[in-house]
Amino acid sequence: MANHTIDNMDADALAAAMSVPRVVVLPTVTSTMDEAHRLGGEGAPGGTLIIADEQTAGRGRGGKRWTSEERLGLWMTLLERPSTPSGLDVLSLRIGLHLAPVLELFSGAPVQIKWPNDLYIGSRKVAGVLVEARWREQKAEWVAIGLGVNIISPAEVETAVGLLPGTRRSVLALALVPAVRAAAHARGPLTVAELAEFDRRDYARDRHCLKPAVGIANGITNDGALIITGEHGVTHYRAGSLEFAT
Write the pLDDT tens digit of every residue in 82-95.
999 999 999 999 99
Domain that holds residue 164: 11-193
**37 plus 124 within the same structural domain:** yes
**211 plus 170 within the same structural domain:** no
pLDDT at 63: 59
The number of domains in the chain is 2
pLDDT at 154: 83
**98 plus 176 within the same structural domain:** yes
**135 plus 225 within the same structural domain:** no
pLDDT at 158: 85
**63 plus 178 within the same structural domain:** yes
**37 plus 156 within the same structural domain:** yes
**56 plus 29 within the same structural domain:** yes
Query: What residues contact residue 119 under an 8 Å CB cut-off, 6+ apart?
Result: 96, 99, 100, 103, 111, 112, 113, 125, 126, 127, 128, 129
pLDDT at 127: 96
Residues of the chain with pLDDT under 70: 1-2, 60-67
**215 plus 171 within the same structural domain:** no
Flag whether 3 is in a domain: no
What does the chain come to in residues? 246
Flag whether 132 is in a domain: yes
Flag whether 6 is in a domain: no
pTM: 0.93
**189 plus 208 within the same structural domain:** no
The CA distance from 105 to 207, in Å, is 27
172 close to 149: Cβ distance less than 8 angstroms = yes
**181 plus 223 within the same structural domain:** no
**229 plus 210 within the same structural domain:** yes
40 close to 141: Cβ distance less than 8 angstroms = yes
